[in-house]
């Protein structure tokens, strides 16, 4: 059918990469990847794509073409739309970019059926319309855990969409329960997940007659989804806006201190790609970086990506082990066995050989069991990826290690892991931690170091400017916040792009922004005025980061002191300690300049 398509083609706009991402709901980095696959070279998420590229990209990614055109009428293909006759002008502009009231007979019939079951919808629709917004799809749910409920899609006015960072229509679920239960809530979240490619993926409206709906949703709140109790007061005509403000603007998506993956993970494409190749080619690699540089996040994100390749990721956090002088070997083997079993069980894979081991197996028992198991898993095409995180807990090095007793049995376990990796064709190993001494020192606990020169080294420095900007803009958009170029520069300059510090600073600035404005903007001046309070807040973190460098990189730490004491003489030191200087650059503590080096932004926060 030609007509609609012609309209769509003519109206395809020039879009920046991140605009394409937000319209289509495809992650920015997947868009960048698709562009690379199409041999379209772009520099950054803010590069502009001409209309033909927008169209081809849409086809390549299977995006509904109506999402990529400018004319709102074309974005509602299932519903016949007509111009809204009833004028609801209001002074606050929420009505601007209003959605035209759909006139489809089929939709009218569905809406009547839903309103008969859920009379609350009548008032909801009235308020939505008064804010330029419409229900554009509705159906009663038949079958499944939400049977008897109703599934609606709401399209908000453009003013509301942009103020609240809604990327698409919003899913609304109505349920009949007086006592809304956690398991129904989980079913609702699954529904959102199923529809995430066509609706705003992280916002959902829920209505039930339960008096405690709001309290319950608040209790069950998680960072991923904003679940809004769709309770509106008919007297307050701005109830809808307040409801959105109270739930969407109030969250602070920058404020995450645990490792991230999925839609709160950004950048690091090159590192991820190279690690993926290492794992599939069974080359060991080690990821080293400062505290909170994002090491564990990389492991999580990589795990998610590799699952599709038949890889079973097993993350082992060595921080849980007892520290020297207690010999952690027995606990290490127990932990390896336990984590492997958990991961295998989670995928309903074979655990027999491990299950039959004692809780505290000997190194040899463990090795034989894993060998047998790997053979079985290999026949079904499964590859095991062991990831040892916080590797410094088993390596004595620097000041931190000087106090540690030699633990030859730990070295023996590591040697076993190396030989398992080398002997089988379906096990890979990744290491992560602060110190690269695990692959650089010839001896470990008085024995030859099994990892010496074995694993490829990856140093995790700061995020690049564009990666950081993508992070800030994407997360900002989901809170209805726009960040200016000046704002992005200021965030990057002050934090040096260190992943945790950058987010922490952005989070601090967000807290200073007003909650209830239409256009929330973070500009350079907002960042600058939050800066001095932020600096004193993170000072202790920075001191701790540097303390770790001193602990695990003794030579580097001497260099840092030299740099601070006599910056003019530093180049001579740097020439005599080439490796250590490189480490400092790779870790993001030193920047090379034309004629030499200067301390990175991070050190200026000391
Ligand atoms: N790629 C990323 N995208 C977005 N945020 C990130 C990214 N990497 C790290 N962060 C932010 O930095 C924080 C620290 O990340 P993570 O825990 O992965 O670092 P780490 O190097 O493993 O830290 P630790 O030294 O404590 O083990 C996260 O909570 C997150 O806020
Ligand atoms: Mg970590």
CATH topology of domain 2-74: Arc Repressor Mutant, subunit A (1.10.10)
Does ligand 1 lie within 6 Å of residue 499's CB atom? yes
Q: Using CA atoms, how far apart are residues 244 and 450, in angstroms rounded to an integer?
A: 56
Q: Using CA atoms, how far apart are residues 98 and 73, in angstroms rounded to an integer?
A: 11
Task: Please report which ligand is nearest the Cα atom of 260.
Answer: 1
Q: Using CA atoms, how far apart are residues 560 and 554, in angstroms rounded to an integer?
A: 10
Does ligand 1 lie within 6 Å of residue 500's CB atom? yes
pLDDT at 411: 87
Tracing tokens 């920075």 back to the chain, one arrives at: 542
Tracing tokens 């080398």 back to the chain, one arrives at: 422
Q: Using CA atoms, how far apart are residues 407 and 323, in angstroms rounded to an integer?
A: 11
CA of 276 to the centre of ligand 2 (A): 19
- Tokens (6 digits) for 411: 């070295």
pLDDT at 272: 96
Which of the four pLDDT bands, split at 50, 70 and 90, describes residue 83? very low
pLDDT tens digits along 20-39: 888 888 888 888 888 888 87
Which of the four pLDDT bands, split at 50, 70 and 90, describes residue 79? very low
- Has residue 392 got a pLDDT over 70? yes
For a mutational test of ligand 1's pocket, the pick from 468, 500, 504, 545, i.e. the residue with the most ligand atoms closer than 8 A to its C-beta, is 500
pLDDT at 81: 30
- Tokens (6 digits) for 602: 């991070």
pLDDT tens digits along 405-457: 667 788 899 999 999 999 999 999 999 999 888 888 888 888 888 888 899 99
- Has residue 86 got a pLDDT over 80? no
Does ligand 1 lie within 6 Å of residue 267's CB atom? yes
- Has residue 80 got a pLDDT over 60? no
Q: Using CA atoms, how far apart are residues 440 and 388, in angstroms rounded to an integer?
A: 17
What mean pLDDT comes out for the span 529-539?
95
Does ligand 1 lie within 6 Å of residue 268's CB atom? yes
User: DSSP letters of 324-351?
Assistant: TTS--HHHHHHHHHHHHHHHHHHTT---
Task: Please report which ligand is nearest the Cα atom of 541.
Answer: 1
CA of 260 to the centre of ligand 1 (A): 6
- Tokens (6 digits) for 394: 């088993």
pLDDT at 320: 85
Q: Using CA atoms, how far apart are residues 215 and 229, in angstroms rounded to an integer?
A: 9
Q: Using CA atoms, how far apart are residues 270 and 532, in angstroms rounded to an integer?
A: 34
User: Distances from the Cα of 61 to the Cαs of 38, 68, 212, 306, 529, in angstroms?
Assistant: 11, 12, 42, 20, 42
pLDDT at 226: 92
pLDDT at 574: 86
**Quick one: 134 exposed, middle or buried, by C-beta within 10 A (0-12, 13-18, 19+)?**
buried
Spatial contact of 157 and 97, defined as CB atoms under 8 Å apart: yes
Which of the four pLDDT bands, split at 50, 70 and 90, describes residue 1? very low
Where do the structural domains in the chain lie, given as residue ranges?
2-74, 76-249, 268-460, 465-604
CA of 300 to the centre of ligand 2 (A): 10
Calculate the average pLDDT of the chain.
87
**Cα Rg of the chain (Å, integer):** 28
pLDDT tens digits along 215-272: 999 999 887 889 999 998 777 767 888 899 888 888 889 998 899 998 889 999 999 9
pLDDT tens digits along 96-110: 889 999 999 999 999
pLDDT at 374: 96
Does 268-460 match 2-74 at the fold level? no
pLDDT at 76: 31
**Quick one: 33 exposed, middle or buried, by C-beta within 10 A (0-12, 13-18, 19+)?**
middle
Single pTM value for the model: 0.76
Q: Which residues pair with 207 in a beta bridge?
A: 174
List the single range of 6-15, 77-86, 255-264, 422-431 with lowest mean pLDDT. Answer: 77-86
- Tokens (6 digits) for 473: 């803009």
Which of the four pLDDT bands, split at 50, 70 and 90, describes residue 114? very high
Q: Atom 25 of ligand 1 has which residue's CA nearest to it?
A: 291
Spatial contact of 198 and 64, defined as CB atoms under 8 Å apart: yes
* Residue of 330, 323, 331 lying closest to 551 (CA atoms): 323
Does the domain at 268-460 match CATH 3.30.390.50? Answer given as: no
pLDDT at 74: 33
Which of the four pLDDT bands, split at 50, 70 and 90, describes residue 340? very high
Which residue blocks in 195-315 are alpha helix, DSSP H? 213-219, 239-244, 269-280, 295-306
Does ligand 1 lie within 6 Å of residue 496's CB atom? no
């Amino acid at each position: 059918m030609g007509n609609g398509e012609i309209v769509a083609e003519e109206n395809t706009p020039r879009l920046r990469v991140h605009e394409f991402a937000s319209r289509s709901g495809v992650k920015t980095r997947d868009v960048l990847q698709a562009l690379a696959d199409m041999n379209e070279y772009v520099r950054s998420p803010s590069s502009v794509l001409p209309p033909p590229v927008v169209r081809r990209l849409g086809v390549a990614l299977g995006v509904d073409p109506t999402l990529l055109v400018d004319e709102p009428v074309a974005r509602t293909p299932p519903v016949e739309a007509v111009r809204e006759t009833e004028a609801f002008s209001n002074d606050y502009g929420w009505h601007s970019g209003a959605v035209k009231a759909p006139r489809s007979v089929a939709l009218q019939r569905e809406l009547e059926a839903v309103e008969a079951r859920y009379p609350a919808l009548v008032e909801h629709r009235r308020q939505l319309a008064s804010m330029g917004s419409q229900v554009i799809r509705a159906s009663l749910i038949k079958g499944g855990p939400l049977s008897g409920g109703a599934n609606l899609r709401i399209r908000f006015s453009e003013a509301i969409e942009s103020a609240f960072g809604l990327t698409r229509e919003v899913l609304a679920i109505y349920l009949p329960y007086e006592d809304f239960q956690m398991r129904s809530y989980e079913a609702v979240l699954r529904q959102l997940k199923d529809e995430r490619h066509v609706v705003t993926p992280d916002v959902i409206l829920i209505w039930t007659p339960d008096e405690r709906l709001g309290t319950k949703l608040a209790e069950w709140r998680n960072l991923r989804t904003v679940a809004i109790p769709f309770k509106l007061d008919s007297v307050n005509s701005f109830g809808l806006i307040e409801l959105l403000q109270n739930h969407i603007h109030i969250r602070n998506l920058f404020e995450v201190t645990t490792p991230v993956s999925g839609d709160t993970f950004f950048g690091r494409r090159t590192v991820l790609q190279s690690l993926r190749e290492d794992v599939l080619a069974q080359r060991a690699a080690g990821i080293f970086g400062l505290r909170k540089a994002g090491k564990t996040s990389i492991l999580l994100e990589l795990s998610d990506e590799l699952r599709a390749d038949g890889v079973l990721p097993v993350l082992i956090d060595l921080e849980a082990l007892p520290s020297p002088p207690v010999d952690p070997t027995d606990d290490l083997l127990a932990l390896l066995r336990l984590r492997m079993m958990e991961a295998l069980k989670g995928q309903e894979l074979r655990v027999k050989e491990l299950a039959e081991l004692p809780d505290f197996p000997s190194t040899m028992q463990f090795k034989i069991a894993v060998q047998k198991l790997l053979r079985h898993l290999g026949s079904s095409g499964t590859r095991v990826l062991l990831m040892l995180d916080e590797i410094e807990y088993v390596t004595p090095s620097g000041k931190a290690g000087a106090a540690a007793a030699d633990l030859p049995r730990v070295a023996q376990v590591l040697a076993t892991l190396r030989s398992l990796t080398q002997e089988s064709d379906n096990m890979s190993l990744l290491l992560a931690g602060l110190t690269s001494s695990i692959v650089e020192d010839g001896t470990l606990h008085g024995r030859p170091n099994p990892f010496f020169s074995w694993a490829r080294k990856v140093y995790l420095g700061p995020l690049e400017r564009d990666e950081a900007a993508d992070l800030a803009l994407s997360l900002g958009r989901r809170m209805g916040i726009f960040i200016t170029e000046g704002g992005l520069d200021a965030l990057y300059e002050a934090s040096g792009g260190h992943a945790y510090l950058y987010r922490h600073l952005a989070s601090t600035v967000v807290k200073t922004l007003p909650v209830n404005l239409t256009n929330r903007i973070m500009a350079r001046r907002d960042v600058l005025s939050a800066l001095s309070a932020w600096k004193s807040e993170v000072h202790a973190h920075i001191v701790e980061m540097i303390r770790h460098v001193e602990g695990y990189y003794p030579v580097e730490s001497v260099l840092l002191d030299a740099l601070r004491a006599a910056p003019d003489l530093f180049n001579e030191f740097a020439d005599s300690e080439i490796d250590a200087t490189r480490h400092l650059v790779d870790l993001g503590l030193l920047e090379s300049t034309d004629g030499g080096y200067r301390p990175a932004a991070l050190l200026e926060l000391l």
